[in-house]
Structure 1
């Protein structure tokens, strides 16, 4: 049960922050956001506030922010259509009823001669009972179209995604991955605040009880200068030497309270899958100073971003198999193992997944944010946008291929964790 809760919280945070980035910058650009959704498929929860419907959907494989103009938003009102219209206090049309007209009192029935709900915002037609006089009705910018009792707000051209400057559109798309990196920075910073930041220098932190270090007399705060005369500059230098010498006495030269001491230590032999190694039972020193904690989130995020790019490079050159990729099932199983280690490990896992999601979405693959940014780049070079239908087809094909890849990866996860 703890795994399920942990997975839901982590997945929800990743998707929420990603879509929040799109949402905030769409709003800043003046774009009408119709829906903020977590998940895909049928709605299981829906709440409308202002212009936006906030939904949770059945399939936990992502989320989306639906912006005006990206898809067919409202039914087209063509000449000859018979509609009902209602007016606001300023005598502008604020409700256009296409079906179920008898449900609405105090409406005018109009046969449409022409309608423009994007630019000039008017409906021109003949009112029922007065077919000899062509009338023009001004439409409110916040008017809604009603069809099958569903109300959809109209989107004047300046509220649509495509109407915005290239820079604003690009920033709206880029903001999703950006907020995933922000989430990672927050997660790693919180870890630093709670437990402190491991120092690179070879300063000893917690000395484990009944360990070789404790038996030899090493203490927390000791700074290791050298081992058997070999200079030690980092904690990694120290552990590398120790691991290579199990059951061999090593002389640690340490600085303690301004004094230099030579302390013999014999690492205990430990069997690992890769062979036998030596361990002395010390942890890196954890610094909780403001200067260290303040930058720890940025440093860790940068470090793991580079690591993930290195893995992607191995995938490109064939040193990293697709069988090593994980989908939702694999992430769930990994979350199960991480959850056993405690809240700090879950926070780190959240940071790693968030970086991974941010990077994946920035790849120039159709249907992903990176694919859309690539089209914006082409638009900047050409000086005009690519045909929307052609771009939409490319994204559709890309989305279909991504779904196939997800199915393959998920099946591999099922075989790895539940069948083999």
Structure 2
């Protein structure tokens, strides 16, 4: 079942990526010869307009085959006949859709869990705040004279407090009231708490903003790691492939669908970033060639570019074999 879950996740992520290329291609007038779900032998096909929609045997993603994408074509609707801006949109659309998917997934997670507010909803079993006089419905406005804007402000101030109690200011019925509340350590974690439970907000717009914010934070961290790989600060032994992803999916399934969804968002964003790297055969590498050829004219021929991309594909295959071999030793033969 873990393998099935991993295949479904990978298939959806790749289809979203290829779907981005498909939508963009259709939007700018590029002829799409085939849009396929899956790879390998053909199981089912339906032709609509000038596009064949296919389902293939192996559920490992899919592809969007555009006219004149990898070879020359005299068709005026071929990829090669389009202006530079149109080609750039088509190339970047796959990664763009993966970023959008990551934002949507994370936004859905935030909406499902809810965003804690500064209003008290209830109290934990051990609650010095309740004993001190706080009531459900109180809105916390300050802790130790620090202004409170969101729930993390409350937890941050309490965690940093060195004393044995804190002063909590609340708004109750239009009046400002202060309480001195003892601090206790939470069983299991040891962190300092006062025993309050917040009201939870489920605003779709706020959830979407939080999803976008989380996606940006993840993007920055991923780019930093890629930079560390290039400089040697992070070893290539830390890389993982399909086997490692399957193991990660297995671990996530055990913890629940929230963890599976978060992993899907992470992999989708990773797919977007990696595909936009300026490396031959990747979308980012094709964009680099597009810019170079725009500047230099015909200094680089289609044949030369095709050969460079072929070398890039071979190097990517070699990298995949390397990380897969590492994963076998790390997860199967250990």
| TM-score between both structures, scaled by the size of structure 2 | 0.83
Query: Aligned-pair distance for 1:395?
Result: 0.9
Gaps of 5+ in 2: none
Secondary structure of 1:64 counterpart: strand
Q: TM-score, normalised to structure 1's length?
A: 0.67
- Which segment drifts farther, 49-58 or 17-26? 49-58
Aligned CA RMSD, in angstroms, stands at 3.2
Larger radius of gyration: 1
1:210 matched to 2:209? The reply is no
2:179 is matched with 262
Alignment partner of 1:69: what SS? coil
Q: Distance in 2 between matches of 1:219 and 1:311?
A: 46
Q: Offset at 1:380?
A: 2.0
1:19 corresponds in structure 2 to 18
Deviation at 1:304, TM superposition (A): 2.3
C-alpha distance in 2, partners of 1:8/1:281?
Answer: 43
8 Å CA contact retained: 1:366, 1:399 = yes
Query: Which one is further off, 408-417 or 364-373?
Result: 408-417
Tell me the equivalent position of 1:28. 27
| Residue aligning to 2:114 | 196
When residues 292 and 269 of structure 1 are mapped into structure 2, their CA distance, relative to the original with a 3 A threshold, is closer
Cα gap change, 1:67/1:376 in structure 2, threshold over 3 Å: closer, same or farther? same
Structure 2 CA distance for partners of 1:267 and 1:353, relative to 1, 3 Å: farther
Contact 1:228/1:250 (CA < 8 Å) preserved in 2? Answer: no
Distance 2:154 2:94 in 1: 41
Distance between the aligned counterparts of 1:9 and 1:208, measured in 2? 41
Matches within 5 A, 1:15-414: 15-40=14-39, 42-43=40-41, 45-50=43-48, 51-58=51-58, 60=60, 62-71=61-70, 156-198=74-116, 203=118, 209-212=124-127, 223-225=139-141, 227=143, 235-243=151-159, 249-257=164-172, 258=174, 259-268=176-185, 277-278=191-192, 286-384=200-298, 386-414=300-328
- Structure 1 segments unaligned to the other structure (5+ residues): 74-117, 119-155
> What secondary structure sits across from 1:58 in the alignment?
strand
Deviations 1:351-385 (A, max 9, x none): 22211111111111111100101101112221347
| Secondary structure, aligned partner of 1:352 | helix
Residues 394 and 362 of structure 1: CA distance in aligned 2, closer, same or farther (over 3 Å): same
Change (3 A) 1:356 1:219: farther
Q: In structure 1, how many angstroms separate the alpha carbons of the residues matched to 2:289 and 2:85?
A: 13
Partners of 1:284 and 1:381 in 2: how far apart?
Answer: 57
8 Å CA contact 2:119, 2:139 repeated in 1: yes
Can you list the C-alpha shifts for 1:163-201, whole angstroms capped at 9, x where unaligned?
Answer: 1111111111111101111112222232344333356xx
Residues 55-114 of structure 1 show CA distances to partners (whole Å, capped at 9, x for unaligned) of 335373x542111223469xxxxxxxxxxxxxxxxxxxxxxxxxxxxxxxxxxxxxxxxx
Structure (1 or 2) with the greater strand fraction: 1
Classify the secondary structure of the residue corresponding to 1:320: coil
Q: Alpha-carbon deviation of 1:269? A: 5.6
Bigger relative contact order, structure 1 or 2 (CA pairs below 8 A, ≥6 apart): 2
Count of residues in Structure 1 that have an aligned counterpart in Structure 2: 329
Does structure 2 retain, via aligned residues, the 8 Å contact 1:173–1:373?
A: yes
Per-residue deviation, 1:308: 2.1
| Kept after mapping to 1: 8 A contact 2:70/2:306 | no
Contact 2:158 2:166 (C-alpha < 8 Å) held by counterparts: no
